[in-house]
């Protein structure tokens, strides 16, 4: 029998948390994904949703966690200082990032956000955490999971991931703006034939011209890319904080009618890959 390969959304928002009456159903927490592959735990990004994820993880018995960062904008790292396993020396939380263009590294960024006068607790208190840096294009094994990476088009850089486990595959492409021919071609090859693709659908095609250079894409582009690359299930992700539940319902109906199986990410939802 095939072992579990699943993805759970703990945060689906981009830019900043968006709690409130208009975001109750799709959720207001920022980027945080939990992937289970057999008994392995792999997380992607550590946005505000990671606070609740950490509270759940400490109830289990898996103490080895790999945390892959797409990049280090605040909406993707703001949950780390509130992620319970990170403070516990009985955990081994390995943090990975590959978007840095200069000599900066993940530890530098964490030290910056966890220092006075921004934050009361210092980064040295993260007893369970270690940091690894890679170069986009690198690939490696995490246990039985193959991890592949690619460069995305985003201010300051970002990396996409493709995880393969027992013949099934998941791609995470956020934060990314389409329109650079070289990067677009590389991303298309990177997600070719993938089973599930989580994609930056911050904007619509109609909105994008006002936000060129901000580093995000559209749900229409997610579907165009899925058609070209034979992606089975595209999932719209990194919702604009201003996008209401009703608007996301409308986008959900539209994507499903154009690409059967395509969905809009919902906080709390689990997808079996």
Cα 145 to Cα 60: distance, rounded to the nearest angstrom: 21
Q: Which stretch binds Zn ion (CB under 5 A): 8-16, 113-121, 241-249, 259-267?
A: 8-16
Cα 212 to Cα 216: distance, rounded to the nearest angstrom: 8
Q: Which stretch binds Zn ion (CB under 5 A): 111-119, 136-144, 172-180, 226-234?
A: 172-180
Residue with smaller CB distance to Zn ion, 14 or 160: 14
Contacts of 170 (CB under 8 A, 6+ apart): 5, 7, 35, 162, 163, 164, 194, 195, 196, 197, 198, 273
Q: Does 85 bind Zn ion (CB under 5 A)?
A: no
Residue nearest to Zn ion (CB): 73
Cα 83 to Cα 46: distance, rounded to the nearest angstrom: 8
Buried b (16+ CB within 10 A) or exposed e, 49-69: bbbbbbeebeeeeeeebbbbb
In the list 29, 45, 75, 177, the residue contacting Zn ion (rule: CB under 5 A) is 75
Q: Which stretch binds Zn ion (CB under 5 A): 6-14, 87-95, 187-195, 259-267?
A: 6-14
Cα angle for residues 214, 218, 222 (degrees, 5° grid):
130
Residue with smaller CB distance to Zn ion, 145 or 236: 236
Q: Does 14 bind Zn ion (CB under 5 A)?
A: yes
3-class SS of residue 76 = helix
β 139-142/233-237 pair status: unpaired
Contacts of 44 (CB under 8 A, 6+ apart): 31, 32, 33, 35, 67, 68, 69, 70, 161, 172
Cα 143 to Cα 130: distance, rounded to the nearest angstrom: 17
In the list 29, 34, 45, 175, the residue contacting Zn ion (rule: CB under 5 A) is 175
Residue with smaller CB distance to Zn ion, 36 or 99: 99
Q: Does 240 bind Zn ion (CB under 5 A)?
A: no
**Count of residues touching Zn ion (by CB under 5 A):** 4
Helix ranges (H only) for the chain are: 50-57, 74-77, 106-113, 181-190, 219-229, 245-258
Q: Does 45 bind Zn ion (CB under 5 A)?
A: no
Q: At how many degrees (to 10) do helices 245-258 and 219-229 cross?
A: 20
Q: Which stretch binds Zn ion (CB under 5 A): 12-20, 205-213, 219-227, 255-263?
A: 12-20
Q: Which stretch binds Zn ion (CB under 5 A): 11-19, 126-134, 142-150, 265-273?
A: 11-19
Q: Does 73 bind Zn ion (CB under 5 A)?
A: yes
The interface mask with Zn ion, positions 183-212, x = CB under 5 A, is ------------------------------
Residue with smaller CB distance to Zn ion, 30 or 52: 30
Q: Which stretch binds Zn ion (CB under 5 A): 21-29, 99-107, 174-182, 249-257?
A: 174-182
Residue with smaller CB distance to Zn ion, 32 or 220: 32
Question: What distance, in Å, lies between the first and last C-alpha atoms of the chain?
Answer: 14
Residue with smaller CB distance to Zn ion, 58 or 104: 104
Binding site for Zn ion (CB under 5 A): 14, 73, 75, 175
């Amino acid at each position: 029998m095939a072992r579990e390969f699943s993805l759970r959304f703990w945060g689906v928002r981009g830019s900043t948390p968006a709690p409130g009456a208009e975001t109750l159903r799709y959720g207001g927490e920022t980027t945080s994904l939990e992937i289970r592959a057999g008994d392995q735990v792999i997380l992607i990004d550590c946005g505000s949703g990671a606070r609740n994820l950490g509270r759940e993880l400490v109830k289990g018995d898996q103490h080895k966690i790999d945390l892959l960062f797409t990049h280090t904008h605040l909406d993707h790292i703001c949950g780390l200082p509130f992620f319970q396993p990170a403070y516990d020396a009985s955990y081994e939380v390995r943090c990975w990032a590959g978007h840095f263009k200069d000599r900066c590294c993940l530890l530098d960024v964490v030290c910056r956000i966890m220092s006075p006068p921004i934050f009361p607790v210092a980064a040295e208190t993260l007893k369970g955490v270690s940091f690894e840096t890679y170069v986009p294009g690198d690939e490696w094994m995490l246990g039985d999971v193959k991890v592949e990476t690619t460069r995305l088009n985003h201010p300051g850089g970002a990396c996409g991931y493709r995880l393969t486990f027992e013949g099934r595959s998941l791609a995470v492409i956020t934060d990314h703006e389409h329109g650079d021919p070289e990067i677009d071609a590389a991303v298309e090859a990177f997600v070719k034939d993938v089973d599930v693709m989580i994609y930056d659908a911050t904007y619509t095609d109609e909105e994008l011209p006002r936000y060129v250079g901000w580093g995000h894409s559209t749900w229409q582009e997610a579907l165009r890319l899925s058609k070209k690359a034979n992606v089975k299930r595209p999932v719209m992700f990194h919702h604009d904080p201003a996008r209401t539940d009703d608007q996301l319902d409308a986008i959900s109906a539209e994507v499903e009618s154009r690409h059967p199986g395509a969905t809009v990410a919902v906080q709390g939802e689990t997808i079996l890959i």
